[in-house]
Each structure stands twice: as C-alpha cells, then as structure tokens.
Amino acid sequence: MTKRYQLKAICGKARRGSFRTRQGIFQTPTFMPVGTRASVKGVDVERLAELGAEVMLVNTYHLWLRPGHERIKKVGGINTFTGWKGPILSDSGGFQVFSLKGMRTLTEEGVEFRSHIDGSKQFLSPEGSINVQQTMGVSIAMALDECPAANIDFAAFEKSLAMTFRWAKRSLEARTDPELCVFGITQGGCHQQLRTIASEQICSLSFDGFAIGGLSVGEPKNQMYEVLSYHPDQLPADHIRYLMGVGTPEDIVEAVSQGVDIFDCVMPTRSGRFGRVFIDSDPPFFNIKNSTFAEDTGPIDPSCRCVACRNYSRAYINHLFKVGEMLGPQLASIHNLTHYLTLMRRIRESIEDGTFPALYAVIKERWRTLDLHQGASAAE
C-alpha cells in the first residue's frame, strides 16, 4: 500500500509534503478552517475552495448530538451534507466532552456526560467515537484521548497518559473501513519525560498520522515552544504530524520550523467576527471597528486579493460592524482565512526553494512584542 504521507522537500526541519485520503490529496504544511457544526462560520464551501483551503475540520461532538451521525449518513455522508468536495478531518469529541466540567464522569470504558443541548445523558467511548466519525464518512478520524487541564500535577498527567494509550489502541481496533485514516494523539502536558513516553507508545501503533495534543490549553507560550523544540522529532518522519488547535501565524511558522505539517484553529474566523483582521505588515493585525478607520478608503490589506480587499474599503467594513450587518463579520472572516491560507502557500513555496528561514524571521519579528489569546479550541 502506498504511504499516505509523501515528503517532497525539507528546509532545516521544515517539511514540504502531501497526504492522500479517499477524498483526495492535500498539500502540506496546511491549515484547516474549522467547521464546528459542519459549517465554517459565515463562509460557504465554494468560497473556502476559492481561498485555497484543501481540508476542512468538523466537530464530532456537536454533529453526533445534532443532527446525528446516522442522519448524516442517510443524506449521503459528510461531504454531500456539507457540499465540501475535499478531505474532511473530524476530531474525536474528547475535547468538548472533557470541557463539560461537573457534567461528566470518566471511567475506563469512556465518558458519561450530560448533553449541553437538552441535558440528556450520553456516553462516549473510543469505539463509539470512531463509529460516529466512520459513519459520517470523514477522510480522517481522530482517536479518542483524555484531554487533561494544563494545571494538573505530574502524577495526574501520568495517569491520564496511560488512559490515552489504552484508548488509542481501542480506537484503532474499532476501525472497520480500511480507507478511513485514523490519527493517534500524544499528550503529557509540558513534561518532556511524559511526551517521550507518549511518542514511544502512540507511535508503536499503526496510525496513519500522529497529532500533538494538550498544547495551547493555557500554558505559557514559551512552554509550548519548548515542547515543540523536541517533540515533533519524536514522531515518525514518514508520517504526517498535526498540531491541534494552534494558533497565530507566529505559532504556525514556529511549529513548521520544528517539523509540523498540519494545523487548525478558530482564530481566523473568531477574530474576524469581532473585528480583528490580520495583515501582512507590522503590526500584524488591527481592529476594523476602531473609529480611526471610519473614513479610511483603503482595503483591509493592500497586498491581499480576497473579495473583501478587492471590493470594499476599511470605512465600509467599519460601517457594517457599527450597524450590526452580518456582512461585516463575514468579510473579516474571509479575509483572515485568506491571510492564513496565503501564509501556508508561502511557507510551502519557501521550503521548496530553500528560503523558509527568511520567511520565518520576518513573521517572528513582526510578532515579536505581540501576543494573542492562545486558548482557542477546535470548536466555536
């Protein structure tokens, strides 16, 4: 069987490759727009493809509860349901379930919890999570892992990691569709000893790719970067590497420089809905709602060719936000996704031609004194 991940070029540790799924091949490094409830907020699938997106992420927890995986299968599967023609990655639902503090009970078998929709009692197991994802017909499914908080002690992390490994084996064994890709997830917080154990355990299993979980969950950025300085190297070089829920453009180039291939985060669309827009300049973002832009006739970013920058002024988009017109957040979200996806294309090109260090230096300098909230999850 041909390997799913194909390495095409390297520049330092940065990798340029591609990954094959039954819904098609996507190029790496890549960024996945987040379609929590089978929709990237305010952006239709035709526009997503136009922007350069190749993979979309959907949220297992939300789609399992509503409309239900069996209904999605009945209407033709997740691609037909959403209209998205490319690969779709689904999370396991674990992050959302473990976020329901006080509403869940963890056992070896899985997690019992109360639905946030109607309070009904639900149960999610490794086998159940894979079944939901497989029934929906996604391209890539994530193994169910335990998602510990960033502030627990070493012993608690160690116990959690052992559970994640046992669940990983069960998740992989639950797959019955050979064309479904399944990714394993490493945990261990910011403890190098536990990350090393996690990589040895998870990588001993025949997953199609490996994800780094448990970062961007409240830890200081320098600690996340410390983990990235060694942990991607602990994952197999011939498999794709996915950093979950990260992050800013600075975080992305940092992770790429350490050998990470795939990313997702709600930051582009969530920021856009609140008026924060990213630009290819210094400073790298601003808030379009600020009154200083009320009479600014220029585009959000003169270097951008998205629909917002081609057709509308900062003054107009500022007006849309001020009067509560939904077009404002839509245009800002489209622009931000364009910014992220353009950055990924530039990263791929720079790895191919050996100039990635120069691009890395520009992005790092641009973000040198800035910080954005890093707790954005894969759901919004």
Per-residue pLDDT, 45: 98
Instruction: Give the pLDDT confidence of 85-130 residue by residue, as tens digits.
Output: 999 999 998 888 878 777 888 899 999 988 889 999 999 999 999 9
Say yes or no to pLDDT of 143 above 70. Answer: yes
Per-residue pLDDT, 369: 82
Handedness of CA 199, 23, 305, 266 (dihedral sign): negative
Q: Which of 47-51, 215-219, 230-234 has the lowest mean pLDDT?
A: 215-219
Say yes or no to pLDDT of 377 above 80. Answer: no
Per-residue pLDDT, 379: 55
Which residues sit opposite 210 in a β-bridge?
184, 241
Superfamily grouping for domain 5-270: Queuine tRNA-ribosyltransferase-like (3.20.20.105)
What is the percent of the chain where pLDDT is above 90? Answer: 88
CB 57 within 8 A of CB 33: yes
Q: Which residue has the higher pLDDT, 2 or 136?
A: 136
d(CA 294, CA 53): 31
Rounded to the nearest integer, the mean pLDDT of the chain is: 95
Say yes or no to pLDDT of 380 above 80. Answer: no
Domain ranges of the chain: 5-270
d(CA 75, CA 81): 7
Taking residues 24-44, what's their average pLDDT?
A: 97
Per-residue pLDDT, 138: 98
Per-residue pLDDT, 204: 98
Per-residue pLDDT, 1: 46
Taking residues 323-330, what's their average pLDDT?
A: 98
Residue numbers annotated as active site: 91, 264
Cis peptide before 24, with omega less than 30 degrees from 0? Answer: no
d(CA 191, CA 272): 34
Say yes or no to pLDDT of 78 above 80. Answer: yes
Say yes or no to pLDDT of 375 above 60. Answer: no
Say yes or no to pLDDT of 376 above 80. Answer: no
Say yes or no to pLDDT of 150 above 90. Answer: no
d(CA 361, CA 368): 10
pLDDT tier at 374, thresholds 50, 70, 90? very low
Taking residues 169-193, what's their average pLDDT?
A: 97
Per-residue pLDDT, 94: 83
CB 70 within 8 A of CB 135: yes
Half-sphere exposure for 38 (CA within 13 Å, toward CB): 24
Per-residue pLDDT, 95: 83
d(CA 192, CA 188): 8
Per-residue pLDDT, 320: 98
What is the percent of the chain where pLDDT is above 70? Answer: 97
Say yes or no to pLDDT of 304 above 60. Answer: yes
